[in-house]
Amino acid sequence: MFLAIFNLIVALSPHAFLWWLNTIAAGAALWMVFKSEGTARLLSRQLNRPAAKQPALDTLGRFDE
């Protein structure tokens, strides 16, 4: 996240070398950060469901009886 914000600051400076490339890279980095947070949130919600939680617990070696 820090690198995405830093790249966005650099991209906003028109005096930076290849600032247009930095702008594209900053957009891609921010998209990747938000996409990965959404994926992590979705996985967390899925693991809290009983049907998905039990296979995960079995894989970790914890058996609920």
52 vs 59 pLDDT, higher one = 59
Rounded-to-integer distance, Cα 48 and Cα 27, Å:
32
Rounded-to-integer distance, Cα 20 and Cα 51, Å:
47
Rounded-to-integer distance, Cα 11 and Cα 24, Å:
8
pLDDT given at position 5: 73
Question: 9-58 pLDDT, tens per residue?
Answer: 777 777 767 777 777 888 888 888 888 888 888 877 777 766 556 666 66
Reduce the DSSP state of residue 49 to 3 states and report it.
Answer: coil
Residue 63 confidence class, pLDDT cut points 50, 70, 90: low
| Intra-chain end-to-end CA distance of the chain, in Å | 41
pLDDT given at position 61: 64
pLDDT given at position 50: 60
